[in-house]
């Protein structure tokens, strides 16, 4: 936050946020969820389902306060609610923003727009400088039960998946978006320097946390509902305490709906 304060004092927007894309909001929400909540209680989501903890507890309130303060301090672009994630490389290439929290694929887009631009990156630490790296392994294709029930659709899906995950094609995909392979058999990429730096930093971070809002301990539709709720309330006069109560109500509603559909 000290960096953000310095940048703002010099008339530079510290952070670019692509809030028009709901999934983009996951970066900051899960960052503060890791640092303020999961760092103290890795089983928090499961315990929330059991009624042991609540979104109105102190740790969750701290998370929501940190999130709101980021926006209230004026550290993000004024048009964040209408900006898409894909617009952020343009903003950075033009010098409109100094930093952004998004996927590594944007680095290629920025360098294409501004080849002379020097880029850096870092894992966002907590207020004490401790780094909790997210270890999410949920980026993959899946086949629904409905698809499996239709032989033609299922065959088409299997053909596509075999094509996509073939060594040659999957290698090109991982290199193009600067990503790491998730297949059981390791896929050797060309060794993009950015990938190598990311992996080294991940291994040397203070702690890796695999839990996140949206995993198997999260009720169906809760993540989307929470992101929509936060996006609508950050620019309003709704207090953090009220927001926490609304989130808990949403959690309860999503849990009840999920149980009714089982």
Contacts of 79 (CB under 8 A, 6+ apart): none
> Could you tell me the pLDDT band of residue 173, with boundaries at 50, 70 and 90?
confident
Longest distance between any two alpha carbons in the chain, whole Å: 61
Q: How far is CA 186 from CA 103, 139, 151, in A?
A: 21, 16, 30
Residue 137, pLDDT > 70, answer no
Q: How far is CA 154 from CA 11, 41, 144, 159, 161, in A?
A: 55, 41, 9, 9, 11
Question: In the predicted model, what is the mean pLDDT of residues 64-73?
Answer: 92
C-alpha span between 220 and 138 (Å, rounded): 15
pLDDT digits (tens, 9 = 90+) for 6-47: 999 999 999 999 999 999 999 999 999 999 999 999 999 999
Q: What pTM, to 2 d.p., does this model score?
A: 0.85
Is residue 122 within 8 A of residue 202, CB to CB? The reply is no
Bridge partners (DSSP) of residue 16 are: 100
pLDDT digits (tens, 9 = 90+) for 191-237: 566 667 777 777 778 788 888 898 889 999 999 999 999 998 887 77
Q: Where are the domains of the chain?
A: 2-136+210-261, 145-193
Residue 127, pLDDT > 70, answer yes
2-136+210-261 maps to which CATH number? 3.40.190.10
Using the 8-state DSSP alphabet, how is residue 63 labeled? H
């Amino acid at each position: 936050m000290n960096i953000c304060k310095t940048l703002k004092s010099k008339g530079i927007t510290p952070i670019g946020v692509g809030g028009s894309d709901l999934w983009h909001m996951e970066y900051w929400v899960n960052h503060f969820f890791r640092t303020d909540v999961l760092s103290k209680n890795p089983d928090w989501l499961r315990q929330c389902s059991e009624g042991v903890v609540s979104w109105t507890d102190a740790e969750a309130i701290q998370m929501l306060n940190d999130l709101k303060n980021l926006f209230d301090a004026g550290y993000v672009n004024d048009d964040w609610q209408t900006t898409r994630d894909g617009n952020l490389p343009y903003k950075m290439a033009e010098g409109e923003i100094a930093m952004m929290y998004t996927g590594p694929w944007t680095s290629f887009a920025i360098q294409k727009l501004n080849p002379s631009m020097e880029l850096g990156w870092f894992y966002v630490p907590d207020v004490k400088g401790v780094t909790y790296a997210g270890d999410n392994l949920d980026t993959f294709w899946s086949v629904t039960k409905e698809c499996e029930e239709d032989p033609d659709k299922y065959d088409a899906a299997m053909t596509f998946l075999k094509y996509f995950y073939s060594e040659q094609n999957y290698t090109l995909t991982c290199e193009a978006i600067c990503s790491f392979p998730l297949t059981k058999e390791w896929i050797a990429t060309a060794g993009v320097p950015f990938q190598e730096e990311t992996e080294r930093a991940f291994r040397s971070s203070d702690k890796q946390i695999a839990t996140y809002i949206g995993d198997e301990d999260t009720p169906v539709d809760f993540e989307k509902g929470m992101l929509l709720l936060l996006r609508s309330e950050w620019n309003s006069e709704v207090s953090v305490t009220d927001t926490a109560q609304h989130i808990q109500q949403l959690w309860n509603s999503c849990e009840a709906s999920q149980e009714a559909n089982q």
